[in-house]
Amino acid sequence: MSNASGLRTTRDRAQASIWLTRLVEAHAELFRLLRMYGWPLLDVVIRCVLARSLFASGLVKLTNWSTALYLAAYEYPVPWMSPVSAAYTGVTIELLGATLLLLGLLTRPAALALLILVVVEQTNYLALDTQLFNAVLFGWYLVHGADRLSLDAVLSRGFRDSALPLAASLGALTSWLRNRGTPVYLSLMRLWLGGALLVICLRPQWNPGAAAAVLSLWLPLATASMWSPAMAWVSALLLCAGLASRYTAIALIAFGSGSAMMRGVSADQIYLIATLGLLAIHGAGRVSVDAAARSVLIRRYPQLLGKPAFSLDGLPRVVVVGAGFGGLACATALRRARAAVTLIDRGNHHLFQPLLYQVATAALSPGDIAAPIRPIFRDSFNTTVLFGEVTGIDRSRRQVLVGQRVIPYDYLVLATGAAHSYFGKDAWQPFAPGLKRIEDATEIRRRLLTAFEHAEATDDGNERRELLTFLIVGGGPTGVELAGAIAELARFGMEQDFRNFDPATARIILVQSAPRVLPTFDARMSAHARRALERLGVEVMVGSRVETIDAHGVVVDGNHIAARTVLWAAGVTASPAAKWLGAGADGAGRVRVAPDLSVPGLPDVYVIGDTALSMAWNGQAVPGLAPAAKQGGAYVARAIRSRLRNQAPAAPFIYRHRGSLATIGRKAAVADFGRIRLWGAPAWWLWGFVHLGFLVGMRNRVATMINWFWAYLTFGGGIRLITGGDPRTSAG
């Protein structure tokens, strides 16, 4: 009996230790994500809010100059300056400081000047909570500086290595301020807020008398009264002690936001919530119970410092092949799993394929839609990224073959995508390139732009007509988007660039074998898309069959169309994963997978994305869309994590269709969400926001948004560079 009891006690302790470890890991991951993603955004918001109030104050003083002079002379005079000089100085500091804060340029000098100005106003003019919060936030930027979404962050490294006088010393000073000053400042800020809450709690029992004016001058008592007495008491004690400060700040933000929305949001409350946001993201500072507890926990849980929480030796090996949407989603979800993860791809970047057509039509550059893989996993100690092309899989030895290299696995995830399918007519490929890789997009761009250049150079009318005839095979989303983008490029992007012909005379033909374009969309959406294409001048040929493609053009239903540029958007075939595994496949080469996306007979091998044939969409095949691949990748990661923890098997994969989108030029798109269908400008705006959200990396989102905005306002054609190939050859 005692042995059984002891065994049960040991087992309970082990289970408790596992749960404690998971709790610590969840805590570390939550605030790592907050620092990585939440703080840059909060930093921008705070700087914008501060700049807005400074702009407003400066402009009011400029438009009411007599009031500005009165304030400078009587309310907050500067003894060594005349009222006019003081007024000019105050307005200049506010407007210039607002501009610098908004840009994140010279943030520390601007914050110092504004801090001095606010303290003068608070002590010599009307004491306001707003000015107190401004002073605290300016002090933060003086000590910590702006984050990575600022010009200071962009220019800092180059500035330190420059030949400017004192550049290295100033760089060292700012680093010292941030590293040493930030923890101290956080402690002071926490005590300041905790002290304000404590005074509010004690005020009913203690009449401060003459001290009330002093306390109101330096503590935001009016604004901090927004919480209930119980909330204020608990929060005051926790903040003053520095115990669970992050969670206390989050709770205060949540309850304060709810109260503010019910009673009306004031500027003071916005500043208070922003100040609490700093504590929620950055913590309690050096002098706190949290800091002491963290130093103790770090010895057992090094992941709190971002270091490996466990050794990778002897852990299960998960190999993910392919860094597309599915593979990247799977590898990302496994970053904190107790496994050694290897991500293999034949490129060093993740490519956002839905926007490849914009690279092909000179609207975007390749760097706008591709992100290097390694930086994504820079902080993932259990993930190794390998550059190489998989040539086969040894199922018996559980190995992935990458050239001459062998990568062993315990769990294998194949997310190897698909390639062009010419339906057995591979001889057409040199004359009709498809669109799956960056190299494909730049080749298509070369052919398109070269066709226009050669049309300008020739005097032969027939040759010019052939050069200016562009034929797209396939009326799915890629074909429709390509046709619309080429029509826009010809009619709006280059209308004034050529002298010997009008680019708007270019003939764009879309050939579709099905009875309508976008056959996977609702019939009404297809009709809207066709009308939008025809308004752009695209000739839409539905129910038409391509019989031959060669250097001279295309034969469609027995009729020859002379076209020097033919593009293929008609079909795809899966990667050779089925051949590697010896698994069953459909006519497009997709591996037939089980409900949990594993390969029948190979329970440790999963296939996702375009490579898999899964009937998880209400009994239908899951479509080859980016959201489907991402859902599959996330599902497989959860299934592997469950198996690593010896938990119950995951429920079968269910694909949740969020909708389909396709764009046809500016202001025209279709969006089919089942019950909700949009077309025209609303669908176009939705298409843009959705695609920006799916891009990997803030830099890509910002660059793409700027390029789109510029092209939309100016009708500019974007990146019209002819690269690759031999520029002396013909367009075809």
Q: Which residues are catalytic?
A: 481
Per DSSP, the residues of 78-92 read -TTS-HHHHHHHHHH
Helix (H, G, I), strand (E, B) or coil at 655: coil
Which residues are CB-contacts of 268 (< 8 A; sequence separation ≥ 6)?
A: 128, 129, 130, 133, 220, 222, 223
Which residues are CB-contacts of 207 (< 8 A; sequence separation ≥ 6)?
A: none
Residue 331 and residue 343 in contact, taking contact as beta carbons nearer than 8 Å: yes
- What residues pair up with 593 in beta bridges, in sequence order? none
∠ CA 357-386-365, rounded to 5°:
25
**624 half-sphere exposure, CB direction, 13 A CA radius:** 24
Per DSSP, the residues of 632-644 read HHHHHHHHHHHHH
Residue 107 and residue 101 in contact, taking contact as beta carbons nearer than 8 Å: yes
Dig out the tokens for 633 from the structure: 């990748």
Length of the chain: 732
Helix (H, G, I), strand (E, B) or coil at 201: helix
Q: Would you put residue 715 in left (φ > 0), alpha (ψ -120 to 50) or beta? A: left
Helix (H, G, I), strand (E, B) or coil at 393: strand
Q: Please report which helix (H) or strand (E) contains residue 341, including its range.
A: strand 340-345
Per DSSP, the residues of 34-81 read IIIIIHHHHHHHHHHHHHHHHHHHHHHHHHTHHHHHHIIIIIS--TTS
3 state SS for 237-267: HHHHHCCCHHHHHHHHHHHHHHHHHHHCCCH
Report d(CA 562, CA 468) in Å as an integer: 10
* Alpha-carbon radius of gyration of the chain: 32
Which residues are CB-contacts of 295 (< 8 A; sequence separation ≥ 6)?
A: none
Report d(CA 464, CA 501) in Å as an integer: 9
Rounded to 5 degrees, what are φ and ψ at 393? -135, 130
Report d(CA 183, CA 119) in Å as an integer: 23
Report d(CA 567, CA 476) in Å as an integer: 13
Q: Please report which helix (H) or strand (E) contains residue 333, including its range.
A: helix 325-333
Residue 113 and residue 90 in contact, taking contact as beta carbons nearer than 8 Å: no
Residue 219 and residue 196 in contact, taking contact as beta carbons nearer than 8 Å: yes
Task: Give the full edge-to-edge strand order of the sheet including 565-568.
Answer: 538-541, 507-511, 469-473, 565-568
Task: Please state, in angstroms and as integers, the Cα–Cα distance from residue 494 to each residue in 400, 660, 727, following that order.
Answer: 49, 31, 20
